[in-house]
Amino acid sequence: MQSALNPAGIQASRILDLWHLTLAVCCVVFAAILLACLIALLRAPRANRATPADLSAVNHPQPRVRLWVIAATTISTILLFGLVLADVLTDRALSRLPVHNALRIEMTGYQWWWQARYLPDGNAPGFTLANELHVPVGRPVVVSLKAADVIHTFWVPNLHGKKDMIPGRDASIEFRADKAGVYRGQCAEFCGYEHALMAFSIVADQPAQYEAWAARQRQPSIVPSDEMAMRGRDVFMGQDCARCHAVRGTAAQGMVGPDLTHVASRQFIAAGTLVNNRGNLAGWIVDPRTLKPGTVMPPTRLPPADLQALLTWMETLK
pLDDT at 267 over 90: yes
Neighbours of 23 (CB within 10 A): 10
More confident residue, 297 or 45: 297
Provide the pLDDT for residue 110: 95
Which of 155, 233, 165, 215 is CA-nearest to residue 187?
Answer: 155
pLDDT at 224 over 90: no
Provide the pLDDT for residue 59: 74
pLDDT at 225 over 90: no
Provide the pLDDT for residue 62: 73
Q: Which long-range contacts (CB under 8 A, 24 or more apart) does 168-171 make?
A: 170/144, 170/145, 170/146, 171/144, 171/145
Which of 169, 167, 178 is CA-nearest to residue 136?
Answer: 178
pLDDT at 15 over 90: yes
Provide the pLDDT for residue 66: 82
pLDDT (mean) for 158-185: 94
Domain range summary for the chain, segments of one domain joined by +:
10-44+54-94, 227-314
Q: How high does pLDDT run on average in the chain?
A: 92
Residues 131-166 have pLDDT tens digits of 999 999 999 999 999 999 999 999 999 999 999 999
CATH of region 227-314: 2.60.40.420
Residues 41-75 have pLDDT tens digits of 888 777 777 778 777 767 777 777 788 889 989 99
The kind and range of the H/E element at 108 are: strand 103-110
DSSP, res 311: H
- How far is C-alpha 306 from the geometric centre of its chain's CA atoms? 36
Provide the pLDDT for residue 264: 94
Share above pLDDT 90 across residues of the chain, in percent, rounded to a whole number: 74
SS3 for 239-271 is CCHHHHCECECECCECCCCCCCCCHHHCCEECC
The kind and range of the H/E element at 298 are: none
pLDDT (mean) for 275-294: 93
The kind and range of the H/E element at 206 are: none
